[in-house]
Amino acid sequence: MNRHNEWILILDYGSQFTQLIARRLREFNIYCEIHPFNVDLSTVSEPVPKGIILSGSPKSVNDDDAPSLQTDILDWDVPILGVCYGLQLLAHTQIPGSVEKADKREFGRAHLIVDNNNGILKDVEDNSVVWMSHGDHIHELPSSYVIVGHTNNAGVAAVHHKEKEIYGVQFHPEVAHTDCGKQILHNFAFDICGLSGDWTANSFVEEQIEAIRKKVGNDKVLCALSGGVDSTVVATLIHKAIGDQLECVFVDNGLLRKDEFNEVLDLYIKDLELPVRGVDASELFLTRLTGVSDPEKKRKIIGVTFIDVFEKEIGGQSEFKYLAQGTLYPDVIESVSFKGPSATIKSHHNVGGLPEKMKLDLIEPVRELFKDEVREVGKALGIPAHFIGRHPFPGPGLGIRVIGELSKERLDLLREADKIFIDELKNQGLYDDVWQALAVLLPVQSVGVMGDERTYEFTAAIRAVTSVDGMTADWAHLPYDFLGTVSNRIINEVKGINRVVYDISSKPPATIEWE
């Protein structure tokens, strides 16, 4: 880990909002890392963080299996902010039994009454809305703390240690519903921890170029390009660091969007001047995938086939020591969560089997970044804006957007519908207003009427969402006239589709992709 000198450690106690704490700090250009509450402290003490935040938790501090506080951090002499469970843990650690079930639980909006607007509550407006989510409350505050804020139901809503830079809030400053949330985190990071907010895309690029050169030395790196933003940023960053010690392979798996392989390959070679080899393996992929309907089986076939193609292309070239991948920070956080491995919703799209089979070490230069931060790094690297602004595209491509059995004919239908949808978004100036847009071909045929003839054809679902980083998303409220235009064009121009529906589900509970 090439850790930034100025950083904040976030200890995760299981809150669904923990990633949001990191997102808010990153918006201030502050580097931070999320680690499980029971992390080996020796691994996060070089350099010592400038501040520590204790997250919320679904647990009660009085539960038998409640996650505990590693009290050694209290000796580090760095500012600490406890959020919800984190605050209760600070009290409970000092006075066991000081936290108990509240007579009136608080979930949702409450109004913060500011008793002292210095320190953590500086410039926080009195009676502003905060977001509560707790069934316990502190009934006995340790004498070393003073209350600086309360609500009608919570006598202890914000506290400050009398002698040390230790603070706590009973609400969640990281969520958008808390009016003063950003101000509170800003107060903690800049005024209390003394950070300067110098972690920018340009500084990240400089640090990573140095780190890549140091790690790779004179060895060679192989990069699997998907045509997406993440792998493109990774390849451009590594190429800037080590030049032609990098070799990229861009595979046409037959699951890309219309004309995408040639257009993206052209960008790689002409605009970015990457050392890239284009491989048309579409026939092999489609042969193995034809007739397959289970989404997880599709993903596994695609992954295995990628490995086979790479082995054929790179086989015998023993000079490669590293494989570059576009792993992002949400993947890293999920893999180290103290809650243990989550249920398999879908396989990760990175070609995870390659290092094991090809004896390559991984190099993942953007594993510290969220999706929107990768885009900022791409801009700093000079990647064209029209490419950086491309919507996310899944590793398995259209293979998981054709619901049910795969075939070339169904993929071609979807390609045409998808192009019409994306082209219309661009034509009407709506493309940049949505985070991701896609078309899905459903395994549902229905009766239609075209002229004097009855049709029995497929249904296409179109989906567009707004989001910051894909962790949560809302369906995009696109104009009715626009949706009507897209529907008419798809039905009139794509023979085989006679019905179009618009997906208005949000994430959660739905996912952005259908499979």
Look up 134 and say whether it is catalytic.
no
Catalytic residue among 35, 137, 160, 172: 172
Look up 174 and say whether it is catalytic.
yes
**DSSP-derived secondary structure for 311-345:** HHHHTT-TTEEEEE----HHHHHHHH-TT-PPP-S
* The pairing of beta strand 128-138 with beta strand 99-114: antiparallel
Residue that is written with structure tokens 């054709």 in the block: 402
**Residue 283: enclosing H or E segment and its boundaries?**
helix 282-289
Kindly report each contact of residues 121-124 with a partner whose C-beta sits within 8 Å and lies 24 or more positions away, as own/partner. Answer: 121/148, 121/149, 121/158, 121/180, 121/184, 121/187, 122/183, 122/187, 122/191, 123/183, 123/187, 124/149, 124/180, 124/183, 124/184
Catalytic residue among 32, 84, 193, 248: 84
Q: Are 458 and 496 in contact (CB under 8 A)?
A: yes
DSSP 8-state symbol, 189: I
Catalytic residue among 6, 174, 247, 416: 174
**Residue 233: enclosing H or E segment and its boundaries?**
helix 229-242
Three-state DSSP class for residue 353? coil
Q: 434-473 b/e with 16+ CB inside 10 Å = b? A: bbbbbbbbbeeeeeeeeeeeebebbbbbbbbbebebbeeb
Look up 84 and say whether it is catalytic.
yes
**Active site positions, annotated:** 84, 172, 174
